[in-house]
Chain A
Amino acid sequence: AQTVTQSQPEMSVQEAETVTLSCTYDTSESNYYLFWYKQPPSRQMILVIRQEAYKQQNATENRFSVNFQKAAKSFSLKISDSQLGDTAMYFCAPLIIQGAQKLVFGQGTRLTINP
């Protein structure tokens, strides 16, 4: 079974600041992807960034980047130059390639960007 821990229930930063959300996970599988999803208030879950576990290079997507430490099973998300529209719940989720390929979500971090 997989477990996901997001140790920061809530975070709050000022607009334009950089913020890092932490995530640790536990899996015995070797072939998996890792995702960060964003869920804005009353809106649908959307993908922020994706990392294949076999890749050593950290994924980046515009202002979003990850720090993937496979041995430590750590997968943090860094948001640079934060914007008001980044306010949302953020969920870390590993996805095992075999079988159902279902996402297992952490409890989330509520991020608020203040003007």
Chain B
Amino acid sequence: DTGVSQDPRHKITKRGQNVTFRCDPISEHNRLYWYRQTLGQGPEFLTYFQNEAQLEKSRLLSDRFSAERPKGSFSTLEIQRTEQGDSAMYLCASSLPRGVTGELFFGEGSRLTVL
């Protein structure tokens, strides 16, 4: 399977704990996105990487959230001191550089439940 993969698929944690999600994009895609989706809503943009550079962050990304893409390949999204409001599906997507199709390819998501 050469699609976008995310790990873990499900994470249940207690409030105050730290969690980390990993995303492996399609190999030739240099753009990587993180979105958050709460139940019954559309995904909301969190942050975007072009290669290893984090070029845009949403105001939704509080200082408890940090994302990295150290070698321009996989990315991690860490949430520190989780709160119940962080419960959501965290989606990763990747795409080819500008000027191609503009299509984003999504992973299956990592569902976070904070108790």
Q: Mark A71-102, 1 if CB is under 8 A from B, else 0.
A: 00000000000000000000101010101111
Could you tell me if A45 and B106 are in contact, using CB atoms closer than 8 angstroms? yes
Residues of A within 8 A of B33 (CB): 102
Given A102-B48, A105-B44, A108-B41: A97 in contact with B106 (beta carbons within 8 A):
no
Residues of B within 8 A of A45 (CB): 43, 91, 93, 106
Residues of B within 8 A of A103 (CB): 43, 45, 104
Given A44-B108, A105-B42: A100 in contact with B103 (beta carbons within 8 A):
no
A-B contact count, CB below 8 Å? 54
Could you tell me if B103 and A106 are in contact, using CB atoms closer than 8 angstroms? no
From A37, A91, A97, contact of B102 by CB (8 A): A97
The answer to whether B95 has its CB under 8 Å from any CB of chain A is yes
Could you tell me if A101 and B95 are in contact, using CB atoms closer than 8 angstroms? yes
B residues neighboring A (CB under 8 Å): 3-4, 31, 33, 40-45, 48, 55-56, 91, 93, 95, 98, 101-104, 106-109
Given A45-B106, A46-B106, A50-B102: A99 in contact with B56 (beta carbons within 8 A):
yes
| Smallest CB separation, A90 vs chain B (Å) | 10
Given A50-B101, A102-B48: A107 in contact with B41 (beta carbons within 8 A):
yes
Residues of A within 8 A of B43 (CB): 45, 91, 103, 105
**Those 3 A-B pairs whose CB atoms lie nearest each other, nearest first:** A105-B42, A45-B106, A44-B108
Given A50-B101, A99-B56: A104 in contact with B106 (beta carbons within 8 A):
no
Could you tell me if A44 and B109 are in contact, using CB atoms closer than 8 angstroms? yes
CA distance A45 to B37 in the complex (A): 11
Given A44-B106, A45-B106, A101-B95: A106 in contact with B101 (beta carbons within 8 A):
no
Most chain B beta-carbon neighbours within 10 Å: one of A4, A46, A103: A103
CA distance A45 to B4 in the complex (A): 11
The answer to whether A25 has its CB under 8 Å from any CB of chain B is no
Could you tell me if B55 and A100 are in contact, using CB atoms closer than 8 angstroms? yes
Given A97-B98, A105-B44, A107-B41: A47 in contact with B108 (beta carbons within 8 A):
no
